[in-house]
Structure 1
Amino acid sequence: MDLAANRERMRRGELYHAFTPDLIAARARAKHACTRYNNAGDVPRRRLTELFRDILGDDSPLPPPAATPEDDDKLFDDDPWIEPPVAMDYGVNIKLGKNVFINFHAVFLDTCLITVGSRTLVGPNVSFYSGTHPLDPVIRQGTRGPELGKEVHVGEDCWIGGNVVILPGVTIGRGSVVGAGSVVTKSVPDFTVVAGNPAKTIRKIETAMDPASGIEWDGWVGESMATTAPETETVIGEQDETRTVPKS
């Protein structure tokens, strides 16, 4: 088997064989890198960032140390914050934007590319599945048969509730919200709330962000809060329920 061609088929989402020596070794590398990150304990932000970049295969240099530990931590404010433990198949097929937060027990099956946009918040026990298998068992053949995948993309400024599963080929649009416990089987438009199994549209999101230009909202300014702030907000509950509550 041409191993390079097999890897390229995996990257393109075509049928490929996962139990080749090189891909077994690649998954072992990611597994050991995740273990080092998960077991790091109480270490500075610099060390966590270094260990996490190792999982992703990101060898970009860290900034020079700052004068104090507090100032040094601030150098990494825009780096993703990933609560351990985390599990990834390869790591190198994952791209995270700035100021992303992913809570503990996240799972990334990154057969194909998985991206999470800047400022997106992800609850605990969320799974991103870019890998899948043929439906026909004659083709599937356990570990000896081929598998395949489709890219997963989560846009900027999203909120993904706990215990969500995102399936292969799904794109979640910018600013959207996925209710806790949902299974996302189809792509989600920008600024939309979805929930359920399978996830269905609950409502559109009214936002102070300009959907057309994508300009970031920079917070309430001065007295504008009293006249501009919405009086209510939508909360996605742990039981996939939505309710409207007074905005604090």
Structure 2
Amino acid sequence: MPSEREKMVNGELYDPTDPELLADSKRARELLAEYNRISGAEYERRLDLLDELFGTCAEACWIDPPFRCDYGYNVHVDEGFYANVGCVILDVCRVDIGRNCLFGPSVHVYTASHPLDPADRARGLAYGEPVSIGDDVWIGGRAVLNPGVTIGDGSVVASGAVVTDDVPEGVVVGGNPAGVVKELETG
């Protein structure tokens, strides 16, 4: 029988009050508390904390505090990632962030969700869907990426956009729900 953690990362209904998941969440909160508290001058220590927190953390990854996530180990970041202040990643499922991605302030990435069935919600169950962000993507401030979306390479998500569906490569999306507002020419 799969553990609650296995069910969680596989996108199945799971119990977030499971002792293993509570311990994982506590570990993440402790690492984040230190990360958010230390001075920006302690660059190497911040990188070490992100490396310890994330499933994968490539070189030249920087997140301006405060930063929040659920577990950390489901976040996989390629090189050249930068997130401005107030980033939140609810990582009950895998979050893949490609090379040279930029997040504006207060970008939120959600893999976590709750069942539509009120009986399952009343039992405290949850589930998630992975989020994938391609290479060279810019996510504007206060944008929200909902569970299960994929953002194509070279695309831009406008500030304040709420992404509910996949975004193709090389476009700008905006609005709520986000839709394509412009196709980009790349050189």
On whether the aligned pair clears a TM of 0.5, the verdict is yes
In the comparison of the two structures, how many residue pairs are matched? 187
* Larger CA Rg, structure 1 vs 2: 1
Task: State yes or no: 1:170 paired with 2:149.
Answer: yes
**Aligned equivalents of 1:20, 1:188: Cα separation in 2:** 34
**Aligned equivalents of 1:109, 1:194: Cα separation in 2:** 22
**Aligned equivalents of 1:205, 1:86: Cα separation in 2:** 30
1:146 Cα offset (Å): 1.5
Question: Which residue of structure 2 lines up, in the alignment, with residue 100 of structure 1?
Answer: 81
Amino acid at match of 1:86: F
- Summarize deviations over 1:40-68 as a string: whole Å, max 9, x none: 1143321221122122266x9xxxxxxxx
Task: State yes or no: 1:195 paired with 2:183.
Answer: no
Amino acid at match of 1:33: L
- Summarize deviations over 1:137-188 as a string: whole Å, max 9, x none: 11211xx432111000111001100000100000000000000001000000
Q: How does 1:88-237 map to 2 (within 5 A)?
A: 88-141=69-122, 144-208=123-187
Provide the identity percentage. 41
Task: State yes or no: 1:40 paired with 2:38.
Answer: yes
Question: Which residue of structure 2 lines up, in the alignment, with residue 13 of structure 1?
Answer: 11
Task: State yes or no: 1:80 paired with 2:78.
Answer: no
- Greater relative contact order (Cα < 8 A, sep 6+): 2
Runs of at least 5 residues in structure 2 that lack an aligned partner in the other structure: none
**Aligned equivalents of 2:55, 2:80: Cα separation in 1:** 19
* Structure 2 residue matching 1:54: 3-state secondary structure: helix
Runs of at least 5 residues in structure 1 that lack an aligned partner in the other structure: 61-75, 209-248
TM-score, normalised by the number of residues in structure 1: 0.72
**Aligned equivalents of 1:191, 1:161: Cα separation in 2:** 15
* Structure 2 residue matching 1:32: 3-state secondary structure: helix
* Structure 1 residue matching 2:3: 3-state secondary structure: helix
Q: How does 1:64-75 map to 2 (within 5 A)?
A: none
* Structure 1 residue matching 2:76: 3-state secondary structure: strand
TM-score, normalised by the number of residues in structure 2: 0.95
* Change beyond 3 A, Cα 1:42–1:207: closer
* Structure 2 residue matching 1:201: 3-state secondary structure: strand
* Structure 2 residue matching 1:38: 3-state secondary structure: helix
Question: Which residue of structure 2 lines up, in the alignment, with residue 224 of structure 1?
Answer: none
